[in-house]
Amino acid sequence: MKIKPEGREYATWTVTTSDPVTGLEVTFDAGTTWAAMDAVDATTFRVLVAGPDATTNPDGTVVLAAGRHFALIRAVDAPEVIIRDAGTIDVG
């Protein structure tokens, strides 16, 4: 996915598991900060991402600096904590 520095759009992932999934999170900084993802349906999850020049971002928007960002998705289902690579978002 590629967005302009002034852009804002949903990044969407399909997650397939043997058990229902709720409470997925995504990080773009190797796990320093995690953002809650919205469930679109049982297998589709999304988060609103914006470039550094986007204005009036709604609450929950993940603002990314210019450059390439590697996404990780996390599901916590005790005792498991499952983290998977989820592609990249380029801002610029």
Model-wide pTM > 0.85: yes
At position 47, the amino acid (one-letter code) is V
Here the CATH number for the domain that contains residue 8 is: 2.60.40
- Number of structural domains the chain divides into: 1
Q: Are 62 and 28 in contact (CB under 8 A)?
A: yes
Query: What is the average per-residue pLDDT within 75-92?
Result: 91
Task: Reply yes or no on whether the pLDDT at 27 is more than 90.
Answer: yes
**DSSP codes of every residue in 49-92:** EE-TT--SPPTT-EE--SEEEEEEEEEEETTEEEEEEEEEEEE-
If one compares 49 and 80, the residue with the highest pLDDT of the two is 49
Domain of 24, in residue numbers? 2-91
Query: What is the average per-residue pLDDT within 53-73?
Result: 97
Out of 12-26, 40-54, 57-71, least confident range? 12-26
